[in-house]
């Protein structure tokens, strides 16, 4: 594995410049698909083409497969969120039990970014290895490519012909288009990883999305004074807008209690500075404010990467520029598919991977459709916050009779309720019960179906994939079925056990 890491490291820092090729030069078979972009969509798509007996080539400008996720996005974010949780716990429990006094100078954003940069080639190398050795994927890496036409791609000085072309070139952070955006010290999620070379002392995060909330929470937990500036209420639009109101309240209240400053309904007028950023001018509902900052993170959405095929391919796009595709991932041009972030939200791994696999199956003659209109979602603050289906309010707008099962129960204060408590919240449960988390299960009392699940805590996120699958089957998933499962007690979510307490009722009552 070591040599796989070395190749990536030396290529990425410029000591090597040759293409990293894993291509069967003796094969005479035509490519069924070229995947332009070796992120998760391309990698999964190529694997599926190969599984179905076809031949695929993945081409990427980076010296590794996996794309932005393990390089600049999900993986560093997960590392940082785990650090946030660890530090919040070390701070909260300082001087109790075995926890030493908390040294506010010990945690360094730069050090953690450095750690990630130093070690990210490990997961990268694993994906190069796995793709070649386990999946038999052919690839050209460190190979910037240009699309010549719908069946021809030029990379590393050669032209490659293909029956089908699958575009998976991803997206990048959207610019705000405001004054001061190009000052040193203004970052997005990618440039933060690539370029950070100092320790931030005062941070402003622009945006109210998952990225903004996650990075804001991380910076604050690292000990850095941080303000989130959001045009509307944080976590109120897009997928986070579908979480239950009480869950959002619990999460946002917790963020504020950890001294994360949140300015909602506020607009950034300009970023100010001289050689570097010095602050941000903001219009808030209470008037104009100047926020000092030596670090600004812009989390204002993304735009597609189209440079390698635009204008060679005249593809239909939606008003925001995303490549339009149908449920088979077909673009407006025959033989050209688009997958992953390039086709717009949700910018989630399941969609990337499944869209790549869907394109591959259609290319190989298996008609397959992908619907991403409903999916489980999550984000990190100091918690894992997971949700799927309807919030209570949204359910009441649609259904005649709704009951909820909530923990802590509505009658009790979180401060007197050490529940929900399970792995990851046990020590809090016995010291600071208000920190154990929150959950709500939303049920249609008439059909008895579970229609919404909402959780803040630890260890429940993974189950949401499976429970969402059960909920969205055509026959649904009733509270009675839920109550008949075998919970692994203490379950991070209490859905199964609490469903059992209620499920024998003819007329369901909440709790």
CB nearer a second copy, residue 4 or residue 250: 4
In 3-state terms, what secondary structure has residue 81?
Answer: helix
Question: Angle formed by the axes of helices 210-221 and 245-257, to 10°?
Answer: 30
Q: Are 173 and 300 in contact (CB under 8 A)?
A: yes
Residue 318 CB, nearest approach to a second copy (Å): 22
For tokens 């509902």, the residue is 285
Helix (H) or strand (E) holding 363: helix 349-363
CB nearer a second copy, residue 25 or residue 98: 98
Per-residue burial over 257-292, b if 16 or more Cβ lie within 10 Å, else e, is ebebbbbbebebbebbbeeebbbbbbeeeeeebebe
Tokens in use for 244? 């239950």
The residue from 110, 316, 320, 488 that contacts a second copy (CB under 8 A) is 488
Stretch near a second copy under the rule CB under 8 A, chosen from 15-23, 228-236, 240-248, 370-378: 370-378
The residue from 244, 377, 392, 434 that contacts a second copy (CB under 8 A) is 377
Residue 461 CB, nearest approach to a second copy (Å): 5
Contact flag: residue 306 with a second copy (CB under 8 A): no
Q: Are 302 and 284 in contact (CB under 8 A)?
A: no
Judged by CB under 8 A, the chain residues 133 through 192 that form the site for a second copy are 133-135
CA distance 391 to 399: 12
Residue 160 CB, nearest approach to a second copy (Å): 23
CB atoms within 10 A of CB 125: 23
Class of residue 79 by CB neighbours under 10 A (exposed 0-12, middle 13-18, buried 19+)? middle
CB nearer a second copy, residue 150 or residue 421: 421
Residues 6 or more apart from 394 whose CB is under 8 A from it?
A: 242, 452
Contact flag: residue 132 with a second copy (CB under 8 A): no
Stretch near a second copy under the rule CB under 8 A, chosen from 166-174, 259-267, 333-341, 422-430: 422-430
Judged by CB under 8 A, the chain residues 83 through 122 that form the site for a second copy are 83, 86-87, 89-90, 97-98, 100, 103, 106-108, 111-112, 115-116, 119, 122
CB nearer a second copy, residue 233 or residue 470: 470
Stretch near a second copy under the rule CB under 8 A, chosen from 12-20, 154-162, 171-179, 464-472: 464-472
Nearest partner of 61 among 133, 168, 152, 148, judged by Cα: 168
CB nearer a second copy, residue 440 or residue 458: 458
Q: Are 343 and 329 in contact (CB under 8 A)?
A: yes
Contact flag: residue 424 with a second copy (CB under 8 A): yes
Residues 6 or more apart from 130 whose CB is under 8 A from it?
A: none
Tokens in use for 456? 């803040």
The residue from 56, 357, 442, 479 that contacts a second copy (CB under 8 A) is 357
Contact flag: residue 489 with a second copy (CB under 8 A): yes
Residue 60 CB, nearest approach to a second copy (Å): 18
The residue from 9, 350, 396, 476 that contacts a second copy (CB under 8 A) is 350
Helix (H) or strand (E) holding 396: helix 392-398
Contact flag: residue 267 with a second copy (CB under 8 A): no
The set of long-range contacts for 409-414, using a CB threshold of 8 Å and a minimum separation of 24, is 409/511, 414/250, 414/438
Residue 28 CB, nearest approach to a second copy (Å): 23
Stretch near a second copy under the rule CB under 8 A, chosen from 139-147, 253-261, 266-274, 345-353: 345-353
Residue 35 CB, nearest approach to a second copy (Å): 14
């Amino acid at each position: 594995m070591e040599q796989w890491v070395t190749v990536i490291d030396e290529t990425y820092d410029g000591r090597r410049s040759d293409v990293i090729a894993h291509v069967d030069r003796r094969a005479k078979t035509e490519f069924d698909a070229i995947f332009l972009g070796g992120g998760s969509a391309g990698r999964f798509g190529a694997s599926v083409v190969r599984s179905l007996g076809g031949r695929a080539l993945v081409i990427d400008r980076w010296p590794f497969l996996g794309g932005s996720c393990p390089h600049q996005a999900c993986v560093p974010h997960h590392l940082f969120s785990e650090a946030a949780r660890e530090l919040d716990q070390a701070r909260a429990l300082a001087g109790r039990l075995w926890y030493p006094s908390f040294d506010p100078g010990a945690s360094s954003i730069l050090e953690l970014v450095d750690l990630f940069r130093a070690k990210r080639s490990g997961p990268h190398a694993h994906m190069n290895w796995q793709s070649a050795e386990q999946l038999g994927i052919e690839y050209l890496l460190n190979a910037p490519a240009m699309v010549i036409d719908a069946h021809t791609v030029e990379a590393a000085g050669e032209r490659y012909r293909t029956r089908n072309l699958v575009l998976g070139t991803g997206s990048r952070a959207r610019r705000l288009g405001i004054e001061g955006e190009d000052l040193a010290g203004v970052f997005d999620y990618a440039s933060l990883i690539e370029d950070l070379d100092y320790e931030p002392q005062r941070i402003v995060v622009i945006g109210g999305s998952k990225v903004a909330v996650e990075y804001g929470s991380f910076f604050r937990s690292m000990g850095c004074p941080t303000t989130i500036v959001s045009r509307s209420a944080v976590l109120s639009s897009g997928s986070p807008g579908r979480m239950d109101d009480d869950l959002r309240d619990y999460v946002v209240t917790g963020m504020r209690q950890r001294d994360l400053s949140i300015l909602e309904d506020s607009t950034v007028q300009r970023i100010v500075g001289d050689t570097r950023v010095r602050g941000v001018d903001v219009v808030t509902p209470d008037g104009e404010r100047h926020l000092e900052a030596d670090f600004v993170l812009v989390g204002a959405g993304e735009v597609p990467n189209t440079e390698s095929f635009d204008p060679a391919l005249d593809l239909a796009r939606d008003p925001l520029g995303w490549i339009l595709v149908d449920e088979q991932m077909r673009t407006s041009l025959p033989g050209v598919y688009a997958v992953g972030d390039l086709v717009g939200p949700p910018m989630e791994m399941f969609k990337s991977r499944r869209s790549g696999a869907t394109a591959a199956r259609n290319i190989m003659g298996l008609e397959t459709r992908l619907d991403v209109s409903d999916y489980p979602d999550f984000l990190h603050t100091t918690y894992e916050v997971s949700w799927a289906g309807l919030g209570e309010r949204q359910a009441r707008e649609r259904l005649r009779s709704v009951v909820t099962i909530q923990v802590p129960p509505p009658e009790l204060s979180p401060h007197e309720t050490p529940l929900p408590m399970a792995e990851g919240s046990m020590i809090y449960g016995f010291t600071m019960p208000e920190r154990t988390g929150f959950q709500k299960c939303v049920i249609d009392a008439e059909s008895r179906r579970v229609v919404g699940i909402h959780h803040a805590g630890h260890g429940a996120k993974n189950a949401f994939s499976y429970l969402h699958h059960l909920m969205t089957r055509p026959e649904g998933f009733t509270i009675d079925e839920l109550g008949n499962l075998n919970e692994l007690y203490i379950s991070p979510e209490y859905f199964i056990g609490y469903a059992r307490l209620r499920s024998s009722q003819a007329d369901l009552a909440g709790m």
